[in-house]
Structure 1
Amino acid sequence: MKREDLESIQAWICEVKSLKRVVVSGRRKSHLPRYQRIDIRPVMIRDEIQLQLVGHDGKQDTTKNFKASEFKVEELLDDGYANLLIERIDQTLTIRITKQGNIKVHRSNTVSSDEVDLDHDHKKRRVLPPSDPIFTALGISSSKGDLIPKQSDKYRQVDDFLRIIESVEKDLGTDSISIADLGCGNAYLTFAVHRYLSRKGVQVKVVGVDSKAESRARNSKISEELAIENEVEFVASTIKDFPNRKVDLVIALHACDTATDDALAWAVKGGAKVILVSPCCHHELNKNLKAQDEESESIFSNGIMKERFADLLTDSLRAEILKLHGYRTNIFEFVSVDHTPRNLMIRAVFTGRKGERSKYEKVCTKWQINPYLAQLLD
């Protein structure tokens, strides 16, 4: 790259009073940049305009703030990025860096607003604000409605889960919804889901099930404090022993090992419209899984690799079994691994269209396994 080209790009970005945003993306041949994309924009921090860089690696975002005098575009480009979009008040510059390192620049007029947003802390829309009374009752927020710092991860987890509820509302209906939270623990999600749907005018009945009697007592007390004891009840029972009933939505987050299978089987037998399950540990399949060929022996010789493979295989087969019972399923990360390492979610929506059994059976035959969930539903 020519020195004068780098100096021009540096100046275009560091004239912060005229800058709207920068997008850095793509990669040059034989390079592997740290981030898939970087967004840069001017922000006001302590009465000084600085540059905020947000790097996206596909899993999480990393944010750093720089004074304009400290920012070095050369270091950024040396990482191997191929494209820069620099949007200024007066013009937009599209920059492409060739595999030979040459810089091609295209200029065009900026057609968007001249206003530059210098807010350094963009507020994310929250499904339920921290000031909602349920968060005070649950010990997540103070009596004044302010989020307690050490509870911020729990609050984000609840907020992310409510966004998943938003995604399945159309599958649940709008008049009345019955919900079972299996393995509810301290019932953060139980109360949050009830509150969210009730605020929309939906008639909601929720039962929270947990094996610990002290959890039932604590949660029932909170339910009474919130004057919703007729809508939210709690039962002390294992999932396996809890009598089946017809519900629209089944929730089970971090039910340990085969308790996740108990929750899934309970939901299927009860004809749940929607199932949202986040598995925890996966011991059952791991202890029965054996290498079937030389390739798998190389994986299974390392305990942690075998464990992770068993985790993925367990959840994949759970999803396939749900398909065989008429559910549309997908598995995704529902919260950043920064907040909890157990961050996979199985989402299943009943459609009545059953999946192909032969594919599932081939996997079971290959690994000589009979998943516990399949045994529960036989």
Structure 2
Amino acid sequence: MNGKVQPEEWVHFIERIVAEEQLIQASFSAPRRKEEDTPVKLTVRPIKLKNGLFYQFERHQSNKVFHENITPEQVGEQLQSVMEQYKQALFKITDADVQVLANKKGKLSLITHSKVSKRENIPQEHNRNKTYVLPEGEPVPFLFALGVMNAEGRVIKAKYDKFRQINRFLEMVSDVIPDLPRDKPLTIVDFGCGKSYLTFALYHLLAIKEKLPVRIIGLDLKQDVIETCSKLARELEWDNLTFSVGDISNFEGYTSVDMVVTLHACDTATDAALLKAIGWEASVILSVPCCQHELFRQISQPILKPLLKHGILKERFSALVTDAIRANLLELAGYRTQLLEFIDMEHTPKNILIRAVKARKTDLEEVKQEYVKFRDFLGVSPFMEKQ
């Protein structure tokens, strides 16, 4: 296939290489329009996860790299859509390199270079080849103290999922380190810190590895848990990591906080933490919601009765609606917001992480109108709007 192609030929090409699993890598470059949300470069490659084949989209944007895993059922449509943003792309498939060029009117030309050696498409083993922020085999004092590693740096088998979770969290934090202020010491609050695996990991990344001036405060309702965490922080001689007993809504004493973390805070406790973060104008917010009951009791829309009459479906739908509302309200508060997979669904259904970064103020009237229509259609009154 060489020269200009009709839209249906382009669609057929994408559908064929996906259906036959021929795609080794696709690289998109030269954005058609210089827009803030268009990555300067995008690479797509197949990867093998525990639950099957996925396609990883690696976006290079604002000196950062973002990853998203797409199912084979979705990837064809995604690839077609992505090409609308770029002037050129290179598809490496099993028996050829195919260059894709877009002219000023968006018409596509395909140039096939068939003189390449026959290549096997072997998706990368995502976990086996992964380079962790905290590599296995290197002793990390806090992981040893928490029972995740032994003294030689070997991960305890029963704690391997926790080790992966910690590293996944640190990857997400690493992406937003450039968005944190550098002209002052950082203040970070971890609401509902629990046993504080991730609180200690956060301090290790920022204070020990990155050598940033940082103070982290962990807050939880359980006195015994806070005492244990405080003891470990003293043993590690991490003077700028402290823990307190308290409720999120009643937490006071700070006029400015740079990062807010809230992991598995139940129901509207997550909303209370997000409101605190917005009030502080925190540069970064990381939130993994837990149980979500508020909107389950409120949602009322006769058109959706075939879905809402089933309790389990209504529960899941309500959770998704809750997180969508939170993400939109954060966006309306001036944050660039993403919803990301935190850990594999096989470990917990509570696997969505909301990552929000303070952004430049833009015209959000259209976003507001869309949100209001969505909220009113479902007949809900979210906690974050009532406070």
Offset at residue 335 of structure 1 (A): 2.2
> What is aligned with 1:323?
331
Aligned to 1:243: 252
| Residue-by-residue CA offset, 1:181-219 (whole Å, 9 max, x unaligned) | 100001111111111112212111000001100111010
**Per-residue deviation, 1:341:** 2.3
Query: 1:269 is matched with which residue?
Result: 279
Aligned to 1:115: none
**2:143 aligned partner:** 135
Question: Contact 1:267/1:275 (CA < 8 Å) preserved in 2?
Answer: yes
Give the counterpart of 1:156 among 164, 169, 174. 164
Q: CA deviation at 1:330?
A: 1.7
Match of 1:369 in 2: 380
Give TM-score, length-normalised by structure 1.
0.69
Q: Which amino acid aligns with 1:308?
A: R
1:305 to 313, 323, 328: 313
The amino acid across from 2:286 in the alignment is L
The amino acid that maps onto 1:168 is V
CA distance in 1, matches of 2:342, 2:369: 30
* 1:185 matched to 2:194: yes
Aligned to 1:350: 358
Structure 1 residue 60: Cα displacement: 4.5
Superposed CA deviations along residues 6-47 of structure 1, whole A, max 9, x for unmatched, are xxxxxxxxxxxxxxxxxxx96559xx96x97787xxxxxxxx
Q: Match of 1:162, SS?
A: helix
Separation of aligned partners in 2, 1:365 and 1:282: 19
Q: Percent identity?
A: 35
2:298 paired residue number: 288
Distance in 2 (CA, whole Å) between partners of 1:339 and 1:234 is 28
Q: Among 235, 242, 264, which residue is 1:233 paired with?
A: 242
Equivalent pair of 2:49/2:126 in contact (CA under 8 Å): no
Identify if the C-alpha distance between structure 1 residues 126 and 278 changes in structure 2 by more than 3 Å, giving closer, same or farther. Answer: same
Structure showing greater radius of gyration is: 1
Letter in 1 for 2:198: L
Mapping for residues 181-260 of structure 1, pairs under 5 Å: 181-198=190-207, 199-228=209-238, 230-243=239-252, 245=254, 246-260=256-270
Q: Is this contact kept in 1: 2:268–2:292, CA < 8 A?
A: yes
| Whole-angstrom distance in 1 between the partners of 2:128 and 2:242 | 38
Q: Deviations over 1:43-93 (max 9, x none)?
A: xxxxxxxxxxx9858995469xxxxxxxxxxxxxxxxx9x9944xxxxxx3
Change in CA separation of 1:95 and 1:126 when aligned onto 2, cut-off 3 Å: closer
Look up the match of 2:41.
Answer: none
Counterpart residue identity of residue 184, structure 1: C
* CA positional deviation for 1:360: 2.0
Separation in structure 1 between the aligned mates of residue 195 and residue 361 of structure 2, nearest angstrom: 36
**Residue in 2 that maps onto 1:44:** none
Q: Which residue of 1 aligns with 2:105?
A: none
Partners of 1:36 and 1:201 in 2: CA distance: 44
Q: Distance in 2 between matches of 1:279 and 1:313?
A: 12
C-alpha distance in structure 2 between counterparts of 1:166 and 1:361, whole Å: 34
Structure 2 runs not aligned, ≥5 long: 1-12, 25-44, 55-75, 77-90, 99-111, 120-124
SS in 2 for 1:214: helix
Shift in Å, 1:94: 4.3
Structure 1 unaligned residues grouped into runs of 5+: 1-24, 40-53, 64-80, 87-92, 97-104, 113-118
Using the size of structure 2 for normalisation, the TM-score is 0.68
How many residue pairs end up in the alignment? 295
User: How many angstroms apart in 1 are the aligned matches of 2:331 and 2:305?
Assistant: 30
CA contact (8 A) 1:180 1:249 kept: yes
Change (3 A) 1:155 1:214: same
Q: Which residue of 2 aligns with 1:125?
A: 131
Alignment partner for residue 345 of structure 2, among 314, 334, 337?
337
Given that residues 327 and 350 in structure 1 are in contact (C-alpha distance below 8 angstroms), is that contact kept between their aligned partners in structure 2?
yes
Q: Quick one: structure 1 residues 58 and 143, their matched pair in 2 at CA, closer, same or farther if it must change by over 3 Å?
A: closer
